[in-house]
């Protein structure tokens, strides 16, 4: 009998939400069995793990081999909470005020992911709704302007020259995903500091292996 791994992660190769979890697992040194899926044709085991048919989902085998000690955690933010609590509180800062700022910044970055996914999926439809698309782009523009007005070299994005916060990782993941999906929206020319932020960090060892392919 093969004993299941402690962690299995359902993900898709371009999902920014799954990527933030893949990066965090790597950073925490947690090996996992990778279950890459096509979310547009969700396999039965993904639906069993997450009836909402979304990735990422982390399946945790608390006692590998003992089925009733296995549970599924859907949603990237919920997974990060679980990892934070089960791995010595290493995702979010300990200081309460800093933690609130980093979480708020992370919410903006994941909001960029949500709006970009929404826009991209709408563009795939036969007759994309201009209202929907326009609303998503307006939300993205406003959020980018707010982020570009903050200092990118310090909290909430970084705590030192080398150390990104969770929000810093999320911002790079969001912007790289936007680079891939938001064709025709000239955000890089408008916010060159954000474009530079991606280029400075995307080649790092903890980010490059999960970069979304074209």
Conformation bin of residue 15: beta by default, left when phi > 0, alpha when psi is -120 to 50:
beta
Least distance between ligand GSH and beta carbon 92 (Å): 16
Least distance between ligand GSH and beta carbon 12 (Å): 6
Which of 120, 197 has the CB closer to ligand GSH?
120
Which residues lie near ligand GSH (CB under 6 A)? 12, 15, 17, 39, 53-56, 75-77, 117
Which of 96, 212 has the CB closer to ligand GSH?
212
Are the C-beta atoms of residues 154 and 165 closer than 8 Å to each other?
Answer: no
The CA distance from 19 to 210, in Å, is 7
Residue with tokens 């009998």: 1
The CA distance from 168 to 211, in Å, is 15
The CA distance from 179 to 166, in Å, is 20
Which of 64, 115 has the CB closer to ligand GSH?
115
Least distance between ligand GSH and beta carbon 65 (Å): 28
Which of 107, 200 has the CB closer to ligand GSH?
107
Least distance between ligand GSH and beta carbon 29 (Å): 22
Contacts of 75 (CB under 8 A, 6+ apart): 17, 54, 56
């Amino acid at each position: 009998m093969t004993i299941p791994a402690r962690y299995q992660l359902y993900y898709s190769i371009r999902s920014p939400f799954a990527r933030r979890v893949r990066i965090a697992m790597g950073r925490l040194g947690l090996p996992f069995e990778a279950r890459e899926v096509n979310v547009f044709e969700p396999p039965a085991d993904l639906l069993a793990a997450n009836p909402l048919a979304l990735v990422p989902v982390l399946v945790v085998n608390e006692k590998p081999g003992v089925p009733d000690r296995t549970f599924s955690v859907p949603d990237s933010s919920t997974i990060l909470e679980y990892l934070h609590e089960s791995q010595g509180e290493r995702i979010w800062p300990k200081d309460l005020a800093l933690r609130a700022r980093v979480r708020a910044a992370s919410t903006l970055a994941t909001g960029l992911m949500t709006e970009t996914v929404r826009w991209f999926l709408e563009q795939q439809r036969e007759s994309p709704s201009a209202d929907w698309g326009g609303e998503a782009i307006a939300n993205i523009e406003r959020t980018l302007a707010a982020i570009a007005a903050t200092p990118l070299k310090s909290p909430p994005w970084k705590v030192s020259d080398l150390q990104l916060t969770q929000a810093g990782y999320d911002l790079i993941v969001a912007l790289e995903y936007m680079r891939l999906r938001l064709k025709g929206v000239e955000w890089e020319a408008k916010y060159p500091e954000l474009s530079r932020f991606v280029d400075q960090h995307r080649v790092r060892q903890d980010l490059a292996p999960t970069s979304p392919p074209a």
